[in-house]
Amino acid sequence: MKMDDAYEGSLSKSVAPAAPPLPGPATSYHQKGLVMNGLPLRGYSSVSTAAKDLWERLFDSGYKADVAIYTDYNGIIYAHANVLGMASPVMKGMLNQSKGHGRWRSLSIHGVPQDAVRVFIRFLYSSCSEKADMEDYVLHLLVLSHVFVVPQLKRECERQLEHGLLSTENVVDIFQLALLCDAPRLSLVCHRMILKNFKVVSDSEGWKAMMQSHPVLEKELVESVLDEDHKQKERIRKLKERKIYLQLYEAMEALVHICRDGCKTIGPHDKDFKEDQAPCNYTACKGLELLVRHFAGCRLRIPGKCSHCKRMWQLLELHSRLCDDSDVCRVPLCRNFKERIKKQSKKDEIKWKKLVEKMLRTKRIGGTNFFSEELASPS
């Protein structure tokens, strides 16, 4: 908005004097919107206290006012056309069109409590609002600031809602308002809150009212909750799956390590076992050592008969499928399995391939493939 335009309307026709200029940095607040940055200066403002008081006095006293704002229940609020026109382009347009009596022009703002209108108009003067007023009328102020295009107040309302005034009790109302008032960030914040607290929110009065007034919106919300629920379950399932594949991969690493280097209680078959070995870095080692010891001593050892041995057989077979060079490999039965795999059914082959693929893919997200690099390296 150009300053000249704004003044033209009021100065040429008006009897009321132009509002006194704001001193210091605050003079630029209309142009630059340097109004609210959350500074805790009595309410929400960065305008100096003296300037704020001066503007509020102008509003409260109605000194040489030239606009009557009619509100619900025959309320009237007096204001100055030049201030209103400067603060809100919509009001400027309304004032330019309104036919006045003498110097008086009139506006109507209905459907909002008079006190909310008063807080709104006072904000247009001082760019401030008291904390209590903001808490009481934040929803009305949001609507008013949207309708009359006062972006700095709208931003402040959104900020206040996001940082404290939003609750599970009012979130449904505010969500609808945010959609109506084109406040995308606020609607997103509300939507998240609804998803997170669906049980409580869907029990609120606001939800019941919405079911009556906006059944389509209610349906969409329920769908988004179900959708989010599904996504959450899917995320958990994937995480669990990833954990299993990582564990399997670690077991594979540890198996090679035990058979190649020896670890704690198990020595490599071609080296002397050292009592004072430092603890190794393989997390799966301990569990695997127990399994290997069991496997060595178990009398059943047939897959189907002993679950521990069955696991060991699977690990050995899996290893063989990952192993690049059975000639150098120290893992027992590595070469035997390689021979057996050649005679395997298509169905089994696909099953194992899938497992290997998934395991390697999981690992690749986190690091390099151990087997292609380390397995063949001399111990």
- Residue 281 is which amino acid? N
Contact call for residue 315 and Zn ion (CB under 5 A): no
Beta carbon nearer to Zn ion, 36 or 254: 254
263 binds Zn ion (CB under 5 A): yes
Of 217 and 298, nearer to Zn ion (C-beta) is 298
Residues 6+ apart with CB under 8 A from 358: 241, 245
Contact with Zn ion (CB under 5 A) among 42, 214, 242, 308:
308
Q: If binding is defined by CB under 5 A, does position 282 make contact with Zn ion?
A: yes
Size of the residue set binding Zn ion (CB under 5 A): 12
Closest approach of Cβ 367 to Zn ion, in Å? 18
Task: Find the binder of Zn ion among 19, 116, 172, 323 (CB under 5 A).
Answer: 323
Figure out which of the listed residues 285, 291, 292, 318 binds Zn ion, where binding follows CB under 5 A: 285
Is 64 one of the binding residues for Zn ion (CB under 5 A)? no
298, 355, 356, 360: residue in contact with Zn ion (rule CB under 5 A): 298
Q: Does 306 bind Zn ion (CB under 5 A)?
A: yes
Which residues does residue 266 pair with via DSSP β-bridges, in sequence order?
Answer: 263
Q: How far is the CB of 321 from Zn ion (least distance, A)?
A: 9
The smaller minimum CB distance to Zn ion, of residues 149 and 328, is found at 328
Euclidean distance between CA atoms 197 and 297, whole angstroms? 55
Q: Which two tokens stand for residue 305?
A: 């008969």
Interface of this chain with Zn ion, residues 130 to 159, rule: CB under 5 A: none
**Sign of torsion, CA 344 347 348 351?**
positive
Residue 123 is a binding residue for Zn ion (CB under 5 A): no
Shortest CB 168 distance to Zn ion, Å: 52
Q: Which range in 42-50, 91-99, 200-208, 320-328 contacts Zn ion by CB under 5 A? A: 320-328
- Structure token digits, residue 231: 């996504």
Query: Please, which residue, 112 or 256, has the CB nearer to Zn ion?
Result: 256
**Minimum distance between the CB of residue 304 and Zn ion, rounded to whole angstroms?**
11
Q: What is the Cα–Cα distance from 91 to 83, expressed in whole angstroms?
A: 10
90 binds Zn ion (CB under 5 A): no
331 counts as binding Zn ion under rule CB under 5 A: yes
Give whole-number Cα distances, 73 to 114, 122, 140, 144, 244, in Å.
Answer: 8, 20, 17, 18, 69
Strand-strand pairing, 105-108 and 75-79 = unpaired
| 334 touching Zn ion, by CB under 5 A | yes
Give the nearest distance from C-beta 305 to Zn ion in angstroms.
8
Cβ-contact 4, 15 below 8 angstroms: no
Considering only 329, 362, 363, 371, the residue that binds Zn ion (CB under 5 A) is: 329
With respect to Zn ion, which residue has the nearer C-beta, 315 or 331? Answer: 331
Taking the complex as a whole, the smallest distance from the CB of residue 371 to Zn ion amounts, in Å, to 9
CA atoms within 13 A on the CB side of 117: 21
Q: Which of 22, 166, 309, 318 binds Zn ion (CB under 5 A)?
A: 309
Q: Which residues bind Zn ion (CB under 5 A)?
A: 263, 280, 282, 285, 298, 306, 308-309, 323, 329, 331, 334
